[in-house]
Amino acid sequence: MPLELFLDLYSQPCRSVYIFAKINEIPFEFRKVDLASGEQYGEEFGKISVLRKVPVMRDGDFVLTESVAILQYMVEMFSTPDHWYPADVQKRARVNEYLSWQHTAMRSHAAKVFWFRCLVPIITGAEVPKEKMDSALEDLSSTLNMFENKFLRDQHFITGDQISLADLVAITEMMQPVGAGLDIFKDRPRLSAWRDRVKQELGVAAFHEAHEVIMNAASLPQEMESKGMLEFIKPRIEKLFN
Amino acid sequence: MPLEIYLDLLSQPCRSVYIFAKKNNIPFEFKKILLFKGEQYGEEFGKVNYFRKVPVIKDGDFTLSESIAILTYLAEKYGTPDHWYPADLQTRARVDEYLSWQHSGMRGIAGKILWLKLMIPKAFGIDVPKEKMDSAMEDLEEALTAFEEKFLQDKPFIAGQKISLADLVAIVEIMQPLGVGVNVFEVRPKLRAWKDRVRAEIGPALFDEAHQMIFNVEEVAKSTDPSAKEIFKPKIKKLFL
C-alpha cells in the first residue's frame, strides 16, 4: 500500500509535504482533510491523529505527524537527492537550524497576518484593531528581515548553492500572507529573487498547483460560513490571538 | 580550539545542550551568558549570534544556533550512543516528531508560567492579570495531557524503550514551572514516573546540577540589570501580556 498523506492545501506545512512528494515522484494517496468544514475535529480523523492537525503521513501501520518530521522521513525512505537534506554535518545543521527557528518565527508571524487579514474579521464580525494589525505586520517584517540577513544573506539558497528543505518550508509559509492579498515580496528584491529561484527549482507548474487553493483564500471565509465552521472556531480564535 | 557553548542555565534549551554535552563527555568551553544582566545584547555576543539568543555553539569557524540543530549536530559529530538519535528510520521519526511539535506545543507554554508568576511581577514590577495566569495554566494542562496521550502513551520513553533527545528536550521544558512552585508532577503519576526514569538515565547529579538555576529564579529576578530591564520590558509586554 502506498503512502497516505492527509492534507489540506490551505495549510502551509501540508504544501511543503505535498510539493516534496510530487517533485520527488514519491507515490502517495492524497487524503483530503477539509479544514474549512472542521473535518479535523471529526471522529474519523481523530482516530488517525489525536492532535487533530494536518499534515499526517501513514505508511502502513506507521502514522507520523509534524511536517518537518514527515519531510525528514521521506528524504531517508525514498533516498531523495542529497541537497534536500545534505549528509554533510554542517550543511545539514544549517537546514536544521532554519527548520527549528521557523516554528515560532516565520510560521507563527506569517500565519497570524493571514488570519488577521483573511479570517478573524469574518469570524469576530469586526476588523482587527489597528494596533494589533500593525504589531503583527511589524513582527512579520522583522522576521523577513532576519530571514534575509541571517539565513539567506547573499547566497542563492539557505544552505548555499542548492535548494533544501529549509527553502521549501520557508516559501510555503511566506505564501500564506500572499494568499491574504499581502505582497510580502514587494520592495524586497533579494527575497523576490530567492522566491523566483525556489519556484524554478520546484518547477513553476508544481508550485502554482500547490498554491492554487491559498491564492483563492478570499473565498475561504464564505466557505467556512456555509459549512458552519465560524461559530465553532470563534472561541479558539479569540484565545489564539489575544 | 575546543567547542565553545554559550549558555545560561536558566534557559531550558541551554540545559538540554549542557546535559547532552556533559553526559556524553563532549569537551567544551562553557561560555556563560547572563541573560538577566543583558549580556546577550552586548556587542561581543552580537558577533557570535545575530539573534542574540542562547544556546549557540562555536566549533572553530562554524557557528550554530537553535538547540535542536545543536543537539543533532553534536550527536552526529561525536558519534554518541544510537538511542539519543536512532539510526532506525521510524524510531528517529518519533524523535523528530516530538522535537518539531514541542516548539509551539510545549516550550512557550511551559516557559510562560515562570514569566507570568515570578519574572514579570518581580523583575519588572508589572502586575499580571488573573485571566492571563489562568489561561496560561489551562494551556499548560492541555500541553501536558497531549504529551502524555500522544507522545508518551504507555512507553517508558517517547521513542520507545530508551531515552532519546526527545525526552531530554521535553524534560528541561517541563521542569521550568517548578521554579515557581508549580509542581506539574503532583497529580500526574505517569509523568512523574517518566521524569524519574529520565533523571535516572541522565544521572541524578547532572540532572539536579543543570536544574539548580530555576530554583534560584527569585534571586536572578531581583538582580536584573536596569539597562536589560529597559530592553526586556516592551518585549515582555508584547510576548506575554
Residue B106 has pLDDT above 70, yes or no: yes
Neighbours of A181 (CB within 10 A): 12
- ipTM tops the 0.85 cut: yes
Identify the DSSP state of A34.
-
- Lookup: cell for A49: 491523529
- Using a cut of 0.90, tell me whether the model's pTM lies above it: yes
Measured between CB atoms, does B141 come within 8 Å of chain A?
Answer: no
Identify the DSSP state of A127.
P
Residue A2 has pLDDT above 90, yes or no: no
pLDDT for A229 equals 85
CB contact under 8 A, A66 and B96: yes
When scoring B16, B96, B149 by the number of chain A Cβ atoms within 10 A, the one with the most, hence best to mutate, is B96
- Lookup: cell for A150: 541571517
A→B interface, C-beta within 8 Å:
50-51, 62, 64-69, 72-73, 76-77, 89-90, 92-94, 96-97, 99-101, 103-104, 108, 135, 146, 149-150, 239
pLDDT, average across residues B170-178: 96
pLDDT, average across residues A102-117: 95
Residue A237 has pLDDT above 80, yes or no: no
Average pLDDT, chain B: 94
Task: Report pLDDT digits (tens) over A177-216.
Answer: 999 999 999 999 999 999 999 999 999 999 999 999 999 9
Q: How far apart are CA A46 and CA B169, in angstroms?
A: 26
Measured between CB atoms, does B88 come within 8 Å of chain A?
Answer: no
* Backbone conformation region of residue B160, classed left if phi is above 0, alpha if psi is from -120 to 50, else beta: left
When scoring A97, A137, A140, A145 by the number of chain B Cβ atoms within 10 A, the one with the most, hence best to mutate, is A97
pLDDT, average across residues B216-237: 86
CB contact under 8 A, B100 and A77: no
pLDDT for A126 equals 87
Average pLDDT, chain A: 94
Task: Report pLDDT digits (tens) over A7-31.
Answer: 999 999 999 999 999 999 999 999 9
Of A89, A108, A146, the CB nearest to B77: A89
CB contact under 8 A, A64 and B97: yes
pLDDT for B9 equals 94
Q: Shortest Cα distance from B108 to chain A (angstroms)?
A: 9
Of A50, A90, A104, the CB nearest to B104: A104
Q: How far apart are CA A96 and CA B67, in angstroms?
A: 10
Residue B89: its chain A contacts at CB < 8 A? 73, 76-77
Q: How far apart are CA B125 and CA A65, in angstroms?
A: 41
Could you list the beta-strand ranges (E) of B28-72. 28-32, 56-59, 62-65
CB contact under 8 A, A104 and B77: no
More confident residue, B62 or A222: B62
pLDDT for A242 equals 63
Residue A100: its chain B contacts at CB < 8 A? 66-69, 99, 103
* Least confident piece of the model among A85-94, A124-133, B178-187, B204-213: A124-133
Task: Report pLDDT digits (tens) over A55-79.
Answer: 999 999 999 999 999 999 999 999 9
pLDDT for A9 equals 97
